Amino acid sequence: MPSTRNILELLAPAKNLEFGIAAIDHGADAVYIGGPAFGARSAVGNSVADIAQLASYAHRFNARVLVALNTILTDEELDEAELLVHQIHDAGADALIVQDMGLLDLSLPPIQLHASTQTDIRSPAKARFLQDVGFSQIVLARELSLQQIRAVASQTSVALEFFIHGALCVAYSGQCYISHAHTGRSANRGECSQACRLPYSLEGPDGQVITQDKHLLSMKDNNQSENLRALAEAGISSFKIEGRLKDLAYVKNITAHYRLLLDELMEENPGYRRASSGHSHLLFTPRPEKTFNRGTTDYFVQERKTDIGAFDSPKFAGEPIGQVRALGDRHFEVDSSTPIHNGDGLSFYTADGELSGLRVNRAEGNRLFPAEPVPGLTVGTALYRNRDQEFERLLEKKSAERRINVGMELVRINAGLRLTLRDEDGREASAELRQALEPAKDPAKALETLHGHLGKLGSTMFAAREIRLDLDVPCFLPASTINSLRREAVAGLEATRLAAYRRPSRTLPVEPPVSYPENELSYLGNVLNRKARDFYTRHGVQLIADAYEANQEAGAVSLMITKHCLRYSFNLCPKQVKGIRPEPMTLVNGKERLTLRFDCKPCEMHVIGKRKQHRVIQLKSA
The CATH number of whichever domain residue 113 belongs to comes to 3.20.20.70
Same domain? 61 vs 156: yes
pLDDT of 98 over the 50 cut: yes
Q: Confirm whether 418 is domain-assigned.
A: yes
Q: What is the pLDDT of residue 34?
A: 95
Same domain? 341 vs 487: no
Same domain? 57 vs 152: yes
Measured CA to CA, the distance from residue 80 to residue 95 in angstroms comes to 18
pLDDT of 1 over the 60 cut: no
Same domain? 126 vs 242: yes
Mean pLDDT of 459-471: 94
**More confident site: 189 or 622:** 189
Q: Confirm whether 264 is domain-assigned.
A: yes
Q: Confirm whether 507 is domain-assigned.
A: no
| Helix and strand numbers, DSSP H then E, in the chain | 13, 32
Domain boundary among 356, 371, 396: 396
Q: What is the pLDDT of residue 582?
A: 63
At 312, which amino acid appears?
Answer: D
Domain boundary among 365, 396, 427: 396
E strands, 371-515, where? 382-387, 400-413, 416-423, 428-434, 438-439, 462-470, 475-476
Confidence category of residue 579, pLDDT binned at 50, 70, 90: low
Distance separating the N- and C-terminal Cα atoms of the chain: 38
Measured CA to CA, the distance from residue 198 to residue 171 in angstroms comes to 14
pLDDT of 42 over the 80 cut: no
Distance of CA 563 to the CA centre of its chain: 21
pLDDT of 232 over the 80 cut: yes
Task: Find the Cα–Cα–Cα–Cα dihedral 409, 414, 416, 420, rounded to 10°.
Answer: -20
Domain boundary among 396, 415, 449: 396
What CATH number has the domain bearing residue 390? 2.40.10.170
pLDDT of 418 over the 50 cut: yes
Judging by DSSP bridges, how do beta strands 462-470 and 475-476 pair with one another?
Answer: unpaired
Mean pLDDT of 61-78: 97
Q: What is the pLDDT of residue 365?
A: 94
Are the CB atoms for 297 and 275 separated by under 8 Å? no
Percent of the chain residues past pLDDT 90, beyond the cut: 88
pLDDT tens figures, 152-182: 999 999 999 999 999 999 999 999 999 999 9
Mean pLDDT of 7-28: 98
Q: What is the pLDDT of residue 139?
A: 98
Q: What is the pLDDT of residue 3?
A: 57
Q: Which domain holds residue 136?
A: 7-168+220-276+284-290
Q: Confirm whether 299 is domain-assigned.
A: no
Mean pLDDT of 615-620: 42
Same domain? 123 vs 204: no
Same domain? 415 vs 494: yes
Q: What is the mean pLDDT of the chain?
A: 94
DSSP line for 103-137: GGGS---S-EEEE-GGG-B-SHHHHHHHHHTT-SE
Domain count, the chain: 4
pLDDT of 144 over the 70 cut: yes
pLDDT of 532 over the 60 cut: yes
| CA-derived radius of gyration, the chain | 28
At 177, which amino acid appears?
Answer: Y
Same domain? 192 vs 157: no
Mean pLDDT of 293-308: 95
Same domain? 255 vs 209: no
pLDDT of 458 over the 50 cut: yes
Same domain? 53 vs 133: yes
Q: Does residue 525 come out as left (phi exceeding 0), alpha (psi in the -120 to 50 range) or beta? A: alpha
Q: What is the pLDDT of residue 39?
A: 80
At 104, which amino acid appears?
Answer: L
**More confident site: 622 or 471:** 471
Mean pLDDT of 583-606: 93
pLDDT of 279 over the 90 cut: yes
Q: What is the pLDDT of residue 620?
A: 39
Q: What is the pLDDT of residue 97?
A: 98
Q: Confirm whether 180 is domain-assigned.
A: no
Q: Is the peptide bond before 584 cis (omega within 30 degrees of 0)?
A: yes
Confidence category of residue 301, pLDDT binned at 50, 70, 90: very high
**What residues contact residue 469 under an 8 Å CB cut-off, 6+ apart?**
410, 447, 450, 451
Same domain? 207 vs 228: no
Q: Confirm whether 310 is domain-assigned.
A: no
Q: What is the pLDDT of residue 619?
A: 41
Same domain? 382 vs 411: no
Mean pLDDT of 294-323: 95
Q: What is the pLDDT of residue 4?
A: 78
Measured CA to CA, the distance from residue 195 to residue 101 in angstroms comes to 27
**Burial of 25: CB neighbours in 10 Å, binned 0-12, 13-18, 19+:** buried
Confidence category of residue 581, pLDDT binned at 50, 70, 90: low
pLDDT of 618 over the 70 cut: no
Same domain? 481 vs 558: no
pLDDT of 575 over the 60 cut: yes
Distances (CA, A) of 438 to 445, 488, 501: 14, 22, 40
pLDDT of 206 over the 90 cut: no
